[in-house]
Chains A and B, each alone.
Chain A
Amino acid sequence: MSQEKITRYASYIEDKHKAFLNDIQSKRISVSNESPFEDYKDVPIDDAFFGVGFFINDFPSLYDMFGKFVAGLDINTLHAQMVAATVNGTVAKTIISNANATLQADININSIPRLNAGNTDMNSVMADIFLEGEEIIEDTRILLNTKFEKQLKYSLLPVAQARWDTHLNWNKTVVSYYTEVMGLYFSAKMDVEDANYAAAAKHALWPFTVLDFEKAALGALQGATTRIQKDGVAGTSTFQKLVAGALGGLSAGAQIGTAVNPPTAATATKAASSGGTNWGAGIGAAMGALSGAF
């Protein structure tokens, strides 16, 4: 025959416990359907990374990018293209054309009128020697244009090399950044999904969160405590956050391009200051020719 055992407490304790259980029950009823997580809005992730309605599948895969920008790149062909585009490209042609036009205009506007004026003073405008004077200037102009064109191309060779170097660095950086951005996505995705699902779990388990307090209240006289203590909510995530450690590979402040030094004296024409021009050469040549005439 079974025997039941009833544990009783002093009547004042039982009275208080009964009232306490009524309080707990009343509060449980009032809040068990008032989950604070009901209004939680899922944090968006795919829309923020790829645009509204797009997903990672809509973008080139990492290996496609790697193939396009690095592995499949014919760097020697690229080098030839860089040299051609730099030395013989439209930019070089424009610069040469502009330099020629500038010099031609300067001669036409300033030099020829002054030469004519000087020659008019001696009534030699119609003489052959007058044409010879203009030819001297024209020959010089052609010579200067040719010289500039060659020197410019010579000077652009290191630019082409730097351009190639920079292009390669850029391609490498594009793939590196794509890797980092994708890594950030996956880290953020896991964190966000964890946060979103944790909130959903907390919402779903909310009634149990509340009931746990009533359970502890029932066992109050046996020293029972609630199982949920610190967070106050069932379903708390213990997931290790990853997004904070993402982007570690981005090199903040690193320079992409290869610098080009100005042409050295070996390749560049010496700049002539206004005071350093060798006017004496012109005068000396004339005097020499004059003295030779006597």
Chain B
Amino acid sequence: MSSGGGGGSDYEPETVVRYAPYIEEKHKSFLNAVAAQKTQKINDSPFGSYADIELESGFFGAGESILSSAALYDVFGKHMAALDIEELWDTAFNSTLTADAINELSVAESALLDDEIDSEAKPEFLIAMMNANAVTSSTFVIGNANIEKNRAKAMSAFNNNLIYTMISDAQARWNKSLDWNKSITELNARLHQMYYERKINVDNFNTKMAVEDTLWPFTVLEWERSALGALQGAASASSSMEADEPSDFEKGLSGALGGAALGTAILPGWGTAIGAVVGLAASFF
């Protein structure tokens, strides 16, 4: 490196930064090569063909948005805050305990009892009465009535026990209805949560790709800038393509694969799938 007066006046001294001739020759050749590559690449952005990720289509259908679905507070109001759970109880018990199926079971039981009476009880009774020569006595009438009395008891017991059994079912039905309404609210909230989480990331990603495309010429020129200052110890061009930080997708993929591996170790098959989902979710926190 040499420096010295460049022949200027006392008021304008020049310092010319020079290097050994072989270095300057190589540098010149290098700059020409960089310039040639720049010319070739500067208008050829690889990001030009990127198509935005369509989050809304995936969540809500083509052409729809989150505003196309019910508002979260409306769902909460309909399925929780404004739900008349006592009316729901009445409905659950009425429809369970007065169902057609109960009546049909009762009729079937009645037919079975009639068949038993006609084919067994009555003939047995008549034979006994005839053997005792009592067919024309009042005892015969009472005996007949007692058979029907027992039949009525049996039918009542059957019908009533059917209802008793169904009480716990009706209660379970009510409980399940409440759980179902709660689940609707909960899932709707989780869908909103997932949407906003993904929406922000996807929008960021889409605009990041647009930025990469727009700034592509500068990405290329950064290399030339660096080449120009090579002899002053300039750092290499800083490019947005440098992957110091993994992207959300990479983090998600890494988490999912890690979780899948752990899940497989615990329970192959289901464990793999569950581990992947858990790993994927954990990677975003």
Contacts and interface: CB of A to CB of B under 8 A. Distances in A.
Given A3-B13, A48-B67, A166-B178, A263 B200 contact: no
Contact of B152 (A103, A192, A255): A103
B90 interface: yes
Contacts of A77: none
Contact of A151 (B132, B160, B235): B160
B285 A274 contact: no
Contacts of A74: none
Given A8-B15, A134-B145, A136-B149, A31 B217 contact: yes
A257 B189 contact: no
Given A16-B35, A132-B142, A188-B192, A255 B113 contact: no
Nearest to B65: A44
Contacts of A54: 71, 73
A293 B8 CA distance: 156
Contact of A6 (B8, B72, B176, B238): B8
Contact of B232 (A65, A85, A223, A262): A223
Contacts of A221: 228-229, 232
A101 to B, nearest CB: 10
Contact of A283 (B124, B192, B238): B124
A177 B73 CA distance: 11
Interface residues of B, number: 137
**Most-contacted residue by chain A among B141, B164, B168 (CB, 10 A):** B141
A250 B132 contact: no
Contacts of A233: 211
Contact of A43 (B186, B190, B199): B199
**Most-contacted residue by chain A among B14, B90, B124, B197 (CB, 10 A):** B197
Contacts of B15: 5-8
Interface residues of A, number: 152
A123 B145 CA distance: 16
A230 B244 CA distance: 9
Contacts, number: 440
Given A6-B12, A110-B110, A151-B160, A119 B144 contact: yes
The A interface is mostly helix, strand or loop, or mixed, namely helix
B154 interface: yes
Given A256-B182, A274-B116, A290-B137, A90 B200 contact: no
A147 to B, nearest CB: 8
Contact of B142 (A202, A243, A271, A289): A289
Contacts of B41: none
A71 interface: no
Given A177-B182, A259-B171, A195 B203 contact: yes
A245 B171 CA distance: 35
A43 B196 contact: yes
Interface in B132-161: 132, 134-161
Contacts of A144: 152-153, 156
A103 B19 contact: no
Contacts of B72: 48-50, 181, 184-185
A37 interface: yes
Nearest to B238: A229
Interface in B153-206: 153-161, 163-165, 167-168, 171-172, 174-176, 178-179, 182, 185-186, 189-190, 192-193, 196-197, 199-200, 203-204
B74 interface: yes
Interface stretch (B218-226, B258-266, B268-276): B218-226
A247 B285 CA distance: 14
Interface string A126-168: 0101101110110011001001100110011001001100110
A70 interface: no
A233 B190 CA distance: 32
Interface string A1-36: 101111111101100110110011001000100111
A246 to B, nearest CB: 6
Given A20-B221, A20-B225, A110-B110, A195 B204 contact: yes
Contacts of B178: 166, 170, 256-257
Nearest to B76: A181
B285 A137 contact: no
Contact of A213 (B117, B212, B222): B222
8 contacts: A7-B16, A12-B28, A13-B27, A43-B200, A133-B148, A159-B171, A178-B76, A282-B143
> Which are the 4 A-B pairs with shortest beta-carbon distances?
A257-B175, A286-B143, A282-B146, A36-B210
